Amino acid sequence: MATKIGILVGEETADRGSDWAQVWSNCFELALDDALEHRLLDQPVELVIRSVEGLPTGSQHHVVEAWGELESEGVLAILGPSNADNGMAVQQTANAGQVVTIVFGCSEQLASEWTFSVPWGAAPEDCFYSMSWARQQGHRRVAALWDSAWHGLEWFQYARIAARRFDMDIVGDVRIPALVMNEADRDHQVQQARHGLERLQSLEPDALVMMTSHGSIPFATALKDMGWDIPRVIAGGSFGAARLVPALFEGWVGTCLWDDDNPTSARFLSRYTDRFGERPREDMAIAVHDGCRALLEGISLAPIMTRAGVRTGLEQVKLLPASTGGPGSVLSFGPHDHRGYKGRNISIMRRQSTSDVGGCVFESYYEPMS
């Protein structure tokens, strides 16, 4: 009898399309190949996939309903959803249903009794990476750009903590709506960004630190319209927008998941390209692949093939080399630790450059400062 594993994609949107679920399935296929090669599994595996439009453009109901359908199918564990909004949407349901659910959003609040966090960019750490980069460049007075996403407050809180550690001042901040649904609201969003940036410009900061979910493009658009050329760094997965509209983000620095010097990452991206004919278009695929690998090892360590057994097995996964971040990053869990990534560089800094063949070049690792 096959072991059923669920995949829950809650981000099926017009720009991603239903093929985003195929990317997740591809990541799982590569992880399964490794597990079978090393004889980690005693039974065949059957994937059960649900792909819906959840938050922020859809609804919580879509995601929770899809989670329930997977649970009813008898899956042992569920991979997904990915963003923080949808992770929080299913957290209570996962705990009540007692099914291991691996979530990939950035918030540290996603880990709980039955949810395990494998984030594609961790909000607290990304703030330290970004503030450290600014400080290493000699900047002492920074301004913060953020949006109204619920985990934006988590970013901003850790930005303050990082600034204090590095003896920096946040001289001002601007917050805009995270998401708009029509052209008129989009224009107003850019106007709000510009109005706030003009106010910040009068405060003469040394650099801008942006912590956004969907606000990166409005802020970048307003900055370009203003002609304000100032050092700027992005903390968080929103740096992915730079590769969708690279010219708009020329010169921006941001936290990213992949590092060419990480052998685990290089192997995954090479195998993915060879098998499926193209490189995954979003960094998130790297974290999804890590989540698949961790889950399969957890299943192999389960003392009994039940949902509770899988949770116990996953809690015994230790120092699994991670694809995300710099060399030496690992995945480790424990009975009271369901937040997986460990290491100094679970994200690295890259710079957007349209003149470079890669388009996004290595900038730096995190440098601890006393």
User: Is the CATH code 1.10.3720.10 the one for domain 3-121+260-339?
Assistant: no
Domains 3-121+260-339 and 123-256+348-364 share a fold: yes
Domain boundaries, the chain: 3-121+260-339, 123-256+348-364
List average pLDDT for each run of 10 residues in the chain, which is 370 residues long: 94 68 96 95 94 90 97 98 94 98 96 97 95 96 94 94 96 92 90 98 98 90 96 84 83 93 97 96 92 98 97 98 97 98 96 73 85
Residue 115: which H helix or E strand, with range?
A: strand 115-117
pLDDT the model gives residue 120: 92
Looking at this protein, which amino acid is placed at residue 143? A
Q: How many residues does the chain have?
A: 370
Helix ranges restricted to H, the chain:
19-37, 60-72, 84-97, 123-136, 152-165, 183-201, 216-226, 241-244, 263-276, 284-301, 307-315
Q: Determine the Cα–Cα distance for residues 211 and 154; give it in Å rounded to an integer.
A: 10
Cα separation, 168 vs 135, whole angstroms: 8
What residues does 116 pair with on adjacent strands?
Answer: 102
User: Nearest CA to 78 among 98, 58, 60, 61?
Assistant: 98
Cα 309 to Cα 22, 31, 164, 223, 314: the distances in Å are 28, 20, 43, 52, 9
Q: pLDDT tens across 16-74, in order?
A: 555 889 999 999 999 999 999 999 998 899 999 999 999 888 899 999 999 999 999 99
Please tell me the predicted confidence (pLDDT) of residue 16.
59
Judging by DSSP bridges, how do beta strands 100-103 and 115-117 pair with one another?
parallel
Domain 123-256+348-364 adopts which CATH fold? Answer: Rossmann fold (3.40.50)
